[in-house]
Structure 1
Amino acid sequence: MLTQDQIDTYNRDGYIAVRGVYTPAEVRELQEVTEEFVQKSAEVSEHTEVFDIDIKAGHSADNPKLRRIKNPHLQHDAYNRAMRNPKLLDIIEQLIGSDIRHHHTKLNNKAPGGGAQVEWHTDWGFYPATNDDILEIGVAIDPMTVENGCLMVMPGSHKGPAYDHHEDGVFVGAVQMSDVDMESAGQILLEEGDISIHHVRALHGSEPNMSANARRLLLMGYSAADAFPIGGYGDWETWQSYMLRGTGTNVPRFNGAPVRIAEPKPADKGSIFEIQEELSKTHFEEVKPT
């Protein structure tokens, strides 16, 4: 459970780290399962419904460069159990209330020696809703360090505007660098089993992994049951099946959070990595490993 100081910090800054949420045994299982998926990704040469691979970084059968496992909770029970972890849901309940809906899962894998950065953005820029009681959990499968591209967040940015993620009229999934004050960025450093929590409207990004080790982060989104996506929720029964705790509703709650729609999108682009490739200039210096 969170202390009142942690809750106050989250509300003030838009992010916190929480230590030791997952046990060593739970982390070990996630590490082993993830390594199995990395090896499976060596069998493909292009993006699939499960894998987003880093083709530009030289992905190959001998040297797999897996960037993302898509919807990992649908790919293996270990991820599904991690998403439903009661200890985690207790923490989330303290921040967005007792009626909790699953929003999404993904596992970002930064390969060593320059694994893909994530440009500065807000999750709200991708999926605005009727209210912003939505948050993202990052489960550290490996330690999150400065060297391997830990998550960075702009404190208080979750109280800001609906940041523009467009360039030349097209959605590129990243803000302009003029919106980012790098000197004030907070770094979320984690050990295995720790979690990061950031608000859906918090500006965040991460640098390339310039260490010699992989950096694997299981990301899981959760929302209040009455936060309805502006872009629609699809099939009602499926939408209701995403409830993890409490009771669903057909009454959206509006809280006046500013919204900007993530359209139009570039053609034939799927993950955030692909979309952000449309950005004319990376937010991070391109450093080559020595």
Structure 2
Amino acid sequence: MISREEANFYQENGYLLVRDVFNPDEIKEMRNAVDLIISRAAQSKFDKNHTWEGDYLGDEDVRKLVLKGFHEVHYHHASFNRAAVHPNMVAVLQQLIGPNVQLHHSKMLVKPPEKGAAFPMHQDYPYFPHTRHTMLAASVHLDDADEENGCLHVIPGSHKEGALPHVGKHYLDHRTYPISLGTPCVAKAGDVLFFNYLTIHGSNVNRSARPRRNVLFQYRDPQDEPLMETHFDWGMGLMVAGENADYFRFRERFAVRNNKD
């Protein structure tokens, strides 16, 4: 799916945009699934705004913006299961991570037209730190994305800086790392942006009349051990390529609670 030169580009720069990973029919099915999830959530107690909060925007501006995000989308609709293990995805992942690839979690992020919230620059590392740093995100574009509707920006090579101190764990100081510092990753629907969890990334406000819908899958080598207890997501541990040779050592540990709320 990708050349040796492209794999080397990822290792050097910490990101890689791969074109046409999914065909139009697959994208249409995932778009419809995202709309269904949002529609169901709007009728339940689980509907909420996931807008980032902080001094990178004024309070009044933040209140006007909207970001819809839901974890474990592959439990909501089968189209995301198929996407997570799609042969085109696996072909890229095995060149970037290795022969053995495990799904860590999935989520969707939707920026509505004209009021989609920004993502300040940040690393994903603080949320789920691991020992070998094989963790990467695969951001599937369900819509064309450009600077007008808030495409992702990355700072090439920033993964080599290691873990950086974040404001309240969530984002980097916007005065040192403004979104404008990043390289815009303009993409078409069906393209996938792969980036290491140490790569600094973010995105601006959606000021267009178009939505920006993305589905994101986080993957790792199954023997890349977590450094600490991290947030639990249902579905952690699904093998999408190769084997988990040390399953009984590295399996996720969790407890099931009876929540009556």
User: Within the alignment, does 1:154 sit opposite 2:155 as a pair?
Assistant: yes
Contact 2:137 2:217 (C-alpha < 8 Å) held by counterparts: yes
Alpha-carbon distance between aligned partners in 1 of 2:231 and 2:165, rounded to the nearest angstrom: 26
Query: Partner residue of 1:269?
Result: none
Q: Once the two structures are aligned, what percentage of the paired residues are identical?
A: 27
Runs (5+) with no aligned partner, structure 2 = 52-61, 251-261
> Once the 2 structures are TM-superposed, how far is the Cα of residue 249 of structure 1 from its aligned partner?
3.5
Q: Does residue 28 of the first structure (1) align with residue 28 of the second (2)? A: yes
**Counterpart secondary structure, 1:53:** coil
Deviation at residue 233 of structure 1 after TM alignment: 7.3
In the alignment of these two chains, the number of paired residues is 237
CA distance in 1, matches of 2:194, 2:212: 17
Q: Is the 8 A contact 1:153 1:185 kept in 2?
A: yes
CA contact (8 A) 1:38 1:66 kept: no
Provide closer, same or farther for how the CA distance between residues 42 and 76 of structure 1 changes in structure 2, counting only shifts above 3 A. same
After superposition, residues 1-290 of structure 1 pair within 5 angstroms as 1-44=1-44, 48=46, 51-53=47-49, 57=63, 67-166=68-167, 171-180=168-177, 184-232=181-229, 241-250=237-246
**How many Å separate the matches in 2 of 1:153 and 1:233?**
24
Alpha-carbon distance change, 13 to 234 in structure 1, aligned in 2, over 3 angstroms: closer
Aligned-partner Cα distance in 2 for 1:109–1:36 = 13
Checking the alignment, whether the CA contact within 8 Å between 2:109 and 2:213 is kept in structure 1 is yes
On the 8 A contact 2:104/2:238 being kept in 1, the answer is: yes
TM-score by length of 1: 0.75
Identify unmatched segments of 5+ residues in structure 1: 60-64, 254-290
d(CA) in 2 for partners of 1:39, 1:74: 16
CA distance in 2, matches of 1:183, 1:37: 32
CA contact (8 A) 2:131 2:225 kept: yes
Greater CA deviation, 91-100 or 157-166? Answer: 157-166
Q: Does the 8 Å contact 2:135/2:219 carry over to 1?
A: yes
Distance in 2, Cα, partners of 1:34 & 1:142: 12
CA contact 2:128–2:231 (8 Å) conserved in 1: no
In the superposition, relative to structure 1, how do residues 133 and 214 fare at CA in structure 2: closer, same or farther (>3 Å)? same
> 2:30 touches 2:80 (CA, 8 Å); kept in 1?
yes
C-alpha deviation, 1:3, in angstroms: 1.1
Shift of 1:98: 0.7
Q: TM-score, normalised by structure 2?
A: 0.82
After superposition, give the CA deviation of every residue in 1:33-83 in whole Å (9 maximum; x if it has no partner): 112222223324x5x2xx543587579xxxxx6611221011111111111
Shift of 1:130: 1.2
Q: 1:190 to 1:234 in 2, by over 3 A?
A: closer
User: How far 1:122 moved relative to its partner?
Assistant: 0.3
Q: Decide whether the 8 Å contact of 1:105 with 1:221 is kept in 2.
A: yes
| 1:191 alignment partner, SS class | coil
How far does the alpha carbon of each residue in 1:173-206 deviate from its partner, in whole angstroms, 9 at most, with x for none?
Answer: 0111354265652111111101101111000001
RMSD in angstroms over aligned alpha carbons?
2.5
Return the offset for 1:232.
3.8
Output the CA distance in 1 between the equivalents of 2:231 and 2:14. Answer: 29
| Secondary structure, counterpart of 1:94 in structure 2 | helix
State the match for 2:257 in structure 1: none
Once residues 115 and 54 of structure 1 are traced to their aligned partners in structure 2, the CA distance between those partners, rounded to angstroms, is 11
Q: Structure 1 runs of 4+ off > 3 angstroms?
A: 54-59, 181-184, 232-235, 249-253
**Structure 1 residue matching 2:227: 3-state secondary structure:** coil
- C-alpha contact 1:52 1:69 (8 A) present in aligned 2: no
